[in-house]
Amino acid sequence: MTRTTLAAALAASFAVSGAASAQELFEMTSGYANNLPILGTASVNFVDKINSISTEVEFEHFNPGELVPALEMLDATSNGSVDAAYSTSGYWQGKMNAAGLFAAVPFGPEPGEMLAWMLYDDGMKYFQQMYDDNGYNVKVILCGMYAPETSGWFKKEINSPDDLKGLNMRFFGLGAEVMQKLGVSTSLLAGGDIFPALERGAIDATEFSMPLVDASLGFYNIAKYNYFPGWHQPSTMFELLINKDRWESLDEIAQNQIEIACMANLADNFAEGEAKNFPAMKENVEEHGVEIKNWNEEQLQAFESAWLEVAAELAAEDAFFKEVWDDLQGFRSDYKLWSNNIYLPRPYNSVANQ
């Protein structure tokens, strides 16, 4: 090897090692344990995606409680105790009235419509504004998405809205306020705390996630009645929060890489949920004695009426909630021209199903 060739090789080696040492490490806490299918693996999948495409940043995944408890992730990310968090804004409903509008809206948009509002209308603008206006030092990126969830596991059958009165139930986001209107006492428990609460009778019922996720937590051992549809979460959005100082220290390439990895994660997360839940429902019934129940029209109307009351009250007391709610409602009104014409009507008695 000539001296010139050797010098070139050494320079290339130093360049590679220099690039590697310059790669920024982000410690990311997740709201969901990595052993939870779909829900927990989504944050792991994001980390795998960003680490496979970026030479600028590297993310390290931590389960809930390893760095901070799940319900403390927003504050920890804002103050820099952690660099990033994978979560859903519905967890912050007690801090900001509008938080649930960017997570899951009762009787609201399904995934396609929700994505349209978030990415191509005003949703993401308001999403970031909510954190900014409330003094949180975070950058928010849409990073995961679910189809509807099951709307609850109950120890006893619910035959009318009156049967809900007096129940203690784990419930999430804006849907919890609906249940409170109907006489349910609600609490927001992290995933790992739900089964013990059901087992010792601290709660009578719970909603958490999709059938496969819920099955992995064993709810069917105690609560045999699984209710559908997920009126409280027709779609669920998941966020990546990054400490804003860390975000602004990144160059445009690194920022773009993170956003692209999140966009890929959206598609992956949604498709996995659509593919893996019907086998889980079948297994729940055939192997675990679960009864799949559907809310009747009276019950759904009671839920919706209560939700409209909640939305009106929140809009009256919170100007930002009203602004976002009005914007979403305006978008949905216009969107109907498309959805009412392009999609098959529901219910449609398809020949394939006859």
What DSSP letter does each residue of 79-136 carry, written as one string? HTSSSEEEE-GGGGTTT-TTGGGGT--TT---HHHHHHHHHHSSHHHHHHHHHHHTT-
**Where do we find the tokens 């997570």?**
103
Alpha-carbon distance of 82 to 63, in angstroms, equals: 12
207 is in an annotated binding site: yes
Closest CA to 220 of 232, 208, 234, 231: 208
Question: Contact 239/86 with Cβ under 8 angstroms?
Answer: yes
208 is in an annotated binding site: yes
149 is in an annotated binding site: yes
Alpha-carbon distance of 149 to 231, in angstroms, equals: 8
* Sign, Cα dihedral of 334, 148, 291, 197: negative
Residue 254 exposure: Cα atoms within 13 Å on the Cβ side: 17
Closest CA to 141 of 232, 24, 273, 49: 49
200 is in an annotated binding site: no
Closest CA to 138 of 69, 77, 215, 51: 77
| Coil, helix or strand at residue 224 | coil
For the record, the structure tokens of 331 come out as: 């978008």
170 is in an annotated binding site: yes
Alpha-carbon distance of 34 to 62, in angstroms, equals: 8
Cis preceding linkage at 229, omega within 30: yes
**Where do we find the tokens 């396609």?**
112
- Residues annotated within the binding site for substrate are 149, 170, 207, 233
- Residues annotated within the binding site for Na(+) are 208
